[in-house]
Structure 1
Amino acid sequence: MSSWGVLAFLWLACFCRGTLSCPALCTCYHRRGEVICNEVPLTEYPTVGLPKNTTLLTIQFTNITTISEEHLSATPLLQGLHLYSNRLQTLSPHLLRGVPHLNTLDLTGNKLGDLPADVFSHAPLHSLVLKNNLMDKADAEWLPGNSSLTWLDLSGNLLTKIPTALLQKLPLLENIDLSNNRLEKIPANSLELMTKVERLSLQGNKLDTLDASVFQSTRNLTYLFLSRNKLNKLPQNLFQQLTQLSHLGLDDNQLSHIPPGLLDQLSSLDDDGLDLTGNPWLCDGKVEYLWRWLQKNKKKAFLSENITCAGPQALAGRSVLSLTESELNL
């Protein structure tokens, strides 16, 4: 073999070895640019051996505790990064500066608390999932003012206040999940720039009431989940602007009555689209509006027969639908 032939062979061997590299304990699918490190004893981010053409990286159920800008710079073409259920405690500032194509970042099930400013800047994120971590605040400085984020999941954290400043920087949001936190109040202006939001989850918090104007700007809402709170009273015009709403969860609250007219604007509810179960309904004269609404809209109420009276004692356990006019003293 000529010297040129030898050189060509060596170059090709090195090239192939480089493009087909893969970190130890991980699986690489080179053709589709995907790397998966699943349930392996990794303690450090697997930078060595990561193919530079990686576009999708999943690292889950490992012992990795930190991740830095330098780590991610090893895969400059990355578009999706999924880091489920590791032991991440810290993220470096400017974390995404080396991945200018990243649009999806999922950090579910880690141990993240305080995060540095600009941690999620420098990449065109569309989806950011921070579910089931240890965050007691969500800082507006995490993201740039021109963020393209459409999906934000902060569920399962320790938030006591709705992150108004952060949300007001994200006018393109379509999905916001703040469920299973410790929210006690939603300021009236918190959602005023959320004109594109279609899905809002606030279930599993400590809300006992809502401002009458809180949903005034969210006219594109189709799914609204308020289940498992402490709501005991709702303003009459609370849902007046939500003419696109198809699903509304009000189950497992402390509602004994709802004001006349509350549900009248919700003409777009799907069948089984309204859940009112698990509330202590007081079946006196004030339940007339709910009773009449259920008579006309039985199909729209999820498990309508399970919407039952908590009192008075003579009617306890009865389905609201089954009551008669005489029993309600109408």
Structure 2
Amino acid sequence: MNVFGALFFLAYLGHASACPALCKCYSRRAEVVCSEAPLTQFPSVGLPENTTTLTIQFTNITSISEEDLKAIPKLKELHLFNNQLSNLSSHLLRGVPHLTTLDLTGNQLKLLPANVFSHALLQILVLKNNLIEKVDASWLPDNSNLTWLDISGNRLRNLPVDFLQKIPHLENLDLSHNSVEKFSTGLMDPLTRLTRLNLCNNKLESLSESLLHGTRNLTYLFLSRNRLSHLTPNIFLELTQLSHLSLDDNQLSSIPEGLLNPLNALEDEGLDLTANPWMCDKKIKYLFGWLQKNQKKAFLPGTVVCAGPPSLKSRSVMSLKETELTI
């Protein structure tokens, strides 16, 4: 090897081995992983310019800015989970226009600035387990490319219509483990491509009859562990593609006649009705008949039990005789 070749080789080695302190760099897949608690600032120095995937986890970083990300313009995936992030700068993604995935799970985010998620073609955005009390349409560009949005485990009480109008391509929406009490009529209408909706562990007491009429492509709907005491007769009317529906751990004592009839696509064990205070009187006749005909579609049908009247308490609805439902 001549002198020039040796110098070039040494320069190449120096460039290839460049990596921020407290991080590991994997040049073949253009990936950097930083997972050391002593890390308190974004590791801008030494980041390979060709990085396409960056993971920073379990550190003490508290903020990240547009300037930090400019060092890695080819970034496609940014995973920032379980840090101490409390601040994100406005126009955060202006320097990473190719970014498609942003995961901010398990931080201390509460208030986010306008345009924070603009400027990149984001498809997946995860804000799970933060302190967010309000979402704002100004976070996103018009006609956002988002197909997956997870805002579970925050402190949301509602969701604004103008926010959902900016994400018409959304296929998955997770709002579980929040404090949502009600949704406005027509809120979900912009989400015509939605296939999966998770509303578990909220404080919903009722749902408007037309709430889901625009989401005809839904295949998974999770409503477990809310406070639902009744359902309107036509709420599932348009959900002919639904394969899984969870209604367990609510306050349902009966369901209206014909409620489940449109759900012809339910898979085996696709409907969960357990842990509700079913009142086994005349009003339970529809559910009783449906279970008799569709036993395989119910999850643990034998555990759908009567809370009353006293003479039938703790009896499985499936075990009843129609003559017993006369009260």
TM range (shorter): over 0.9
Report the secondary structure of 2:245's partner residue.
strand
Q: Distance in 2 between matches of 1:52 and 1:96?
A: 16
Residues 184 and 207, structure 1, Cα contact 8 Å, conserved in 2: yes
Cα distance in 2, alignment partners of residues 193 and 161 from structure 1: 16
Report the counterpart of residue 117 of structure 1 in structure 2. 114
1:108 is matched with 105
Task: Note if 1:244 corresponds to 2:241.
Answer: yes
Alpha-carbon distance in 2 for matches of 1:287, 1:272: 20
- Once residues 189 and 209 of structure 2 are traced to their aligned partners in structure 1, the CA distance between those partners, rounded to angstroms, is 13
8 Å Cα contact 2:23/2:36 also seen in 1: no
Say whether the 8 Å CA contact 1:227–1:249 is kept in structure 2: yes
Which of 83, 88, 92 in structure 1 is aligned with 2:89? 92
Q: Distance in 1 between matches of 2:113 and 2:81?
A: 20
Moved more, 131-140 or 156-165: 156-165
Structure 1 residue 17 displacement after superposition: 1.0
Shift of 1:16: 2.8
Any idea what SS the aligned residue of 2:28 has? helix
Give the conservation status (yes or no) of the 8 Å contact 1:45–1:64: yes
Match of 2:181 in 1: 184
1:168–1:190 Cα contact (<8 Å) kept:
no
Question: SS in structure 2 opposite 1:326?
Answer: helix
The residue aligned with 1:35 is 32
Q: Which residue of 1 aligns with 2:260?
A: 263
Give the 3-state SS of the residue equivalent to 2:307 in structure 1: strand
Give the CA deviation at 1:19.
3.1
> 1:154-198: per-residue Cα shift (whole Å, max 9, x none)?
000000112322111110000000111110001111111110000
Tell me the equivalent position of 2:270. Answer: 273
- Confirm whether residue 152 of structure 1 aligns to residue 163 of structure 2: no
Contact 1:199/1:224 (<8 A) preserved? yes
8 Å CA contact retained: 1:51, 1:75 = yes
- 1:174–1:196 Cα contact (<8 Å) kept: yes
Tell me the amino acid that sits aligned with residue 239 of structure 2.
L
**Aligned residue identity for 1:23:** P
In structure 1, the residue matched to 2:7 is: 10
Tell whether the 8 Å contact from 1:177 to 1:200 is kept in structure 2 after alignment. yes
Tell me the distance in 1 between the aligned counterparts of 2:313 and 2:159. 37
The aligned runs of 1:1-330 (5 Å cut-off) are: 5-329=2-326
Q: TM-score scaled to structure 1, two decimals?
A: 0.97
Letter in 2 for 1:278: A
Q: Deviations over 1:125-165 (max 9, x none)?
A: 00000000000001100010031110000000000112322
Secondary structure of the residue aligned to 1:128 is strand
Q: Distance in 2 between matches of 1:180 and 1:40?
A: 28
Secondary structure (helix, strand or coil) at the match of 2:214 reads coil
Segments of 5+ residues of structure 2 without an aligned counterpart are none
Question: What fraction of aligned residue pairs are identical, expressed as a percent?
Answer: 61
User: What letter matches 1:289 in structure 2?
Assistant: Y
- Tell whether the 8 Å contact from 1:20 to 1:51 is kept in structure 2 after alignment: no
Deviation, structure 1 residue 6: 3.9
> What letter is aligned with 1:200?
L
Distance across 1 between alignment mates of 2:324 and 2:318? 12
Alpha-carbon distance between aligned partners in 1 of 2:140 and 2:159, rounded to the nearest angstrom: 16
What is the deviation of 1:274?
0.3
- Between the aligned partners of 1:296 and 1:146, the Cα distance in structure 2 is 44
SS at match of 1:35: strand
In terms of mean alpha carbon deviation, does 31-40 or 119-128 score higher?
31-40
In structure 1, C-alpha distance between the alignment counterparts of 2:88 and 2:322, rounded to whole Å: 62
In 1, the alpha carbon distance for the partners of 2:300 and 2:66 equals: 50
The amino acid across from 1:156 in the alignment is G
Give the aligned length.
327
Contact 2:255 2:284 in 1 (8 A): yes
> What RMSD, in angstroms, separates the aligned Cα atoms of the two structures?
1.2
What is the distance in 1 between the residues matched to 2:16 and 2:96? 19
Amino acid at match of 1:243: T
Q: CA deviation at 1:7?
A: 4.8
- Whether contact under 8 Å (1:38, 1:60) holds in the other structure is yes
Structure 1 residue 74: Cα displacement: 1.1
